[in-house]
């Protein structure tokens, strides 16, 4: 991979990216998770690498991984592990892009043995996980750039903007679920980027690789 021609846009910058789902165990054979494929995060990690950045990729369980061996991959399974990995890398990062679909809740208890089907109905007690992005927003220094993602199925723009403020972000990327070609597992995506000062940029439906490159390039333009 050392043959790859890299741009200099983000040369000398450390970029931390979270991606993929997390899995929260119920017992040794079952977990709670979501449909995230990690593809958007992989595209971002590769785009940032090709633009010259030093990339750390905190990866929830996903079927593929970034193709360049220089990208440092930290594999995690649970939200708690993702939190530990992300916070450990946070202070050294110039730019953090949290694209992971972190589980919002985890089972209060994890059974040591497989849970047997005894009762007619069964409910599970869940507790909240830590909001990693909000933690970073609270710790953020003025020289750091923090980018979040938002996945909404209603009041998309208002919800995304509320997250931008609540989590003290510089940018939030709203994933559109409306388009047939956008969302989980697809190779294409449609996003709108909202900036803390109110400016916004809507990108047309495109491949996740194209979206990632455009997103990184607009961060570069907006930051300079
Ligand atoms: N996020 C995070 N840690 C969590 C939950 C979310 O870092 N425990 C990050 C995601 O990586 C994403 C952003 O927060 O960048 C928004 O995630 P999303 O699920 O859309 O928002 P939530 O704040 O969890 O709110 P809700 O699921 O209720 O819409
Ligand atoms: Ca959530």
pLDDT band (50, 70, 90) for residue 153? confident
64 has pLDDT over 90 = yes
Q: Is 114 annotated as a binding residue?
A: yes
Question: Which residues form the pocket of ligand 1, taking CB atoms under 6 Å from any ligand atom?
Answer: 18, 79, 98, 100, 102, 104, 129-133, 148-151, 163
Distance from the alpha carbon of residue 150 to the mean position of ligand 2, in angstroms: 8
What's the confidence (pLDDT) of residue 179? 66
Tokens of 143: 């020289």
Judged by average pLDDT, the poorest of 5-19, 91-105, 130-144, 184-198 is 184-198
Mean pLDDT of 54-81: 98
Q: Is 140 annotated as a binding residue?
A: no
What's the confidence (pLDDT) of residue 2? 57
What is the atom index within ligand 1 of the atom nearest the CA of 130? 8
Mean pLDDT of 19-23: 98
Please indicate whether residue 155 is annotated as part of the active site. no
pTM of the model: 0.96
Pairing of strands 105-107, 24-27: unpaired
CA distance 152 to 160: 8
224 has pLDDT over 90 = no
Domains of the chain: 14-106+124-169 (3.40.50.10300)
Of 167, 104, 174, 173, the residue nearest 140 (C-alpha): 167
CA distance 174 to 188: 14
61 by Cβ neighbours in 10 Å (0-12 / 13-18 / 19+) ranks as: middle
- Among protein residues, the one with the nearest Cα to ligand 1's atom 28 is 104
What's the confidence (pLDDT) of residue 136? 98
pLDDT digits (tens, 9 = 90+) for 158-193: 999 999 999 999 999 998 877 667 777 788 889 999
Distance from the alpha carbon of residue 220 to the mean position of ligand 1, in angstroms: 24
Q: Is 163 annotated as a binding residue?
A: yes
């Amino acid at each position: 991979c050392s043959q790859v021609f890299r741009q200099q846009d983000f040369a000398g910058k450390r970029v931390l990216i979270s991606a993929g789902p997390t899995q929260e165990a119920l017992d040794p054979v079952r977990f709670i998770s979501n449909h995230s494929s990690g593809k958007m995060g992989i595209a971002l990690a590769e785009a940032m690498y090709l633009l010259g950045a030093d990339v750390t990729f905190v990866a929830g369980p996903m079927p593929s991984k970034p193709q360049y061996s220089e990208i440092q991959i930290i594999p995690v399974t649970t939200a708690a592990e993702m939190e530990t990995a992300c916070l450990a890398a946070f202070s050294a990062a110039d730019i953090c892009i949290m694209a992971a679909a972190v589980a919002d809740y985890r089972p209060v208890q994890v059974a040591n043995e497989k849970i047997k089907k005894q009762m007619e109905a069964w409910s599970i007690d869940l507790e909240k996980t830590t909001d990693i992005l909000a933690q970073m927003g609270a710790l953020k220094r003025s020289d750091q750039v923090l980018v979040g993602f938002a996945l909404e199925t209603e009041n998309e723009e208002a919800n995304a903007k509320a997250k931008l403020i609540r989590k003290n972000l510089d940018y939030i990327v709203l994933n559109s679920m409306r388009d047939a070609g956008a969302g989980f597992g697809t190779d294409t995506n449609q996003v709108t980027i909202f900036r803390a000062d109110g400016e916004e940029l809507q990108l047309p439906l495109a491949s996740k690789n194209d979206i990632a490159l455009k997103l990184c390039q607009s961060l570069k333009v907006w930051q300079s």
